[in-house]
């Protein structure tokens, strides 16, 4: 009986040690889990560089009046461009921040504001240095608007064909960098977004250029926004003539491959400086499509004849052939 207190003490010490060990192990795994959870929210681009962390709810909901004032009541003089999803307006907020406002048209939202906001938040999570960042939105009973940062150098289409006197021409190294940047942006949409995002309208006008002339792919994810019921099969083909893949036209089914087709046409635009479809070519030949025109000259081994004359022969013909 004299040994009983000693046994009790020993059992108590061992029990306390076991409880402490279990508690320490639990605390370790909880901390480890939290660190892993944080890493899961960090978006990494294809080059392996960590981009800034984005969480749901960080988008700003703009008031209609705020955007109306920023764009001077959506004045025609502030229109930056127009596509299948609506017009884009340049705007300046009260703090002098420059923005681009896309005013969506032809939208159907059976789920109302909640469904629209869910799709908007999914787009906002696609964060990559070669993708146009969504900074906010606005909804009213009759309007849907998206707000983006303003790109100082506008679009590839503008830089190829709409330059004002005195503005610099895109040189060949810059065109190569644009091609690579746009490819990285599209790869992120296809391979790193869940669910993957199919662009459906890849073209020079939708590849924007920041202050350093880096490619920034815009207008992605909009097909779902104008009709949240859509899947990858749509009864209404969206896109721009000359950039639409033949199988998309015939089946209405879009995929990564339809985006790759549009990207390929954009590469031809970078090389030639020409539009994807040009009816003025009918005066000399039957090919109004840039793709058919390039194929013809390739068969005739005259690829040098299609290179943008604004380059003044400052390019590498082997790189041109590789891009084509």
What is the DSSP code string of 178-230? HHHHHHHHHHIIIIISSS----S--SGGGEEE-TT--EEE-STTHHHHHBTT-
What are the pLDDT digits (tens) for 223-263?
655 544 444 444 455 567 666 766 666 566 777 888 999 99
Q: Is 201 a catalytic residue?
A: yes
pLDDT at 235: 43
CA R_g for the chain: 27
Identify the bridge partners of residue 139 per DSSP, sorted by sequence position.
144
Q: 3-class SS at 121?
A: helix
| Residue ranges of domains in the chain | 60-323
- CA atoms within 13 A of residue 111's CA, in its CB half-sphere: 13
Q: Taking a C-beta distance cutoff of 8 angstroms, is the pair 121, 257 a contact? A: no
Q: Given 45, 95, 113, 201, which residue is catalytic? A: 201
CA distance 64 to 260: 36
Cis amide leading into 5 (omega within 30): no
Q: Which residues of the chain have pLDDT under 70?
A: 1-57, 106-113, 223-239, 241-243, 245-252, 281-285
The values of phi and psi at residue 278, to 5°, are -145, 105
Query: pTM for the full model?
Result: 0.74
pLDDT at 35: 40
pLDDT at 86: 85
Domain 60-323 has CATH 1.10.510.10: yes
What are the pLDDT digits (tens) for 130-184?
999 999 999 988 889 999 999 999 999 999 999 988 899 999 999 999 999 999 9
Planar angle of CA 212, 218, 222, nearest 5 degrees: 170
203 in a known ligand binding site: no
pLDDT at 138: 93
**Cα–chain center distance at 72:** 27
pLDDT at 263: 96
> Strands 98-104, 215-217: parallel, antiparallel or unpaired by DSSP?
unpaired
């Amino acid at each position: 009986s004299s040994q009983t207190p000693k046994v009790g003490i020993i059992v108590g010490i061992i029990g306390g040690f076991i409880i402490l060990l279990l508690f320490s192990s639990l605390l370790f795994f909880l901390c480890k889990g939290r660190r892993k959870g944080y890493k899961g929210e960090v978006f990494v681009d294809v080059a392996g560089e960590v981009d800034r962390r984005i969480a749901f709810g960080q988008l700003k909901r703009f008031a209609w009046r705020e955007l109306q004032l920023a764009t001077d009541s959506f004045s025609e003089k502030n229109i930056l461009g127009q596509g299948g999803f609506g017009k884009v307006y340049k705007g300046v907020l009260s703090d002098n921040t420059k923005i681009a406002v896309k005013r969506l048209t032809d939208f159907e939202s059976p789920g109302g504001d909640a469904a629209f906001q869910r799709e908007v938040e999914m787009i906002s999570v696609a964060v990559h240095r070669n993708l146009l960042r969504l900074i906010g939105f606005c909804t009213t009973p009759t309007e849907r608007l998206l707000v983006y940062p303003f790109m100082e150098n506008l679009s590839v289409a503008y830089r190829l064909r709409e330059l004002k006197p005195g503005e610099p021409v895109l040189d060949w190294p810059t065109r190569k960098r644009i091609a690579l940047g746009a490819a990285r942006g599209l790869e992120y949409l296809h391979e790193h977004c869940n669910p993957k995002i199919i662009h459906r309208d890849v073209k020079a006008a939708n590849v924007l250029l920041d202050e350093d002339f880096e490619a920034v792919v815009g207008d992605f994810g909009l097909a779902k926004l104008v009709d949240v019921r859509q899947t990858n099969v749509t009864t209404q083909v969206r896109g721009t003539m000359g950039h639409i893949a033949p199988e998309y036209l015939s089946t209405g089914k879009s995929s990564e491959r339809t985006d790759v087709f549009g990207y390929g046409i954009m590469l031809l635009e970078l090389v030639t400086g020409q539009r994807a479809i040009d009816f003025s070519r009918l005066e000399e030949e039957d090919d109004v499509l840039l793709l058919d025109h390039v194929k013809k000259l390739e068969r005739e081994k005259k690829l040098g004849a299609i290179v943008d004359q604004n380059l003044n022969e400052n390019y590498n013909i082997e790189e041109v052939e590789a891009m084509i």
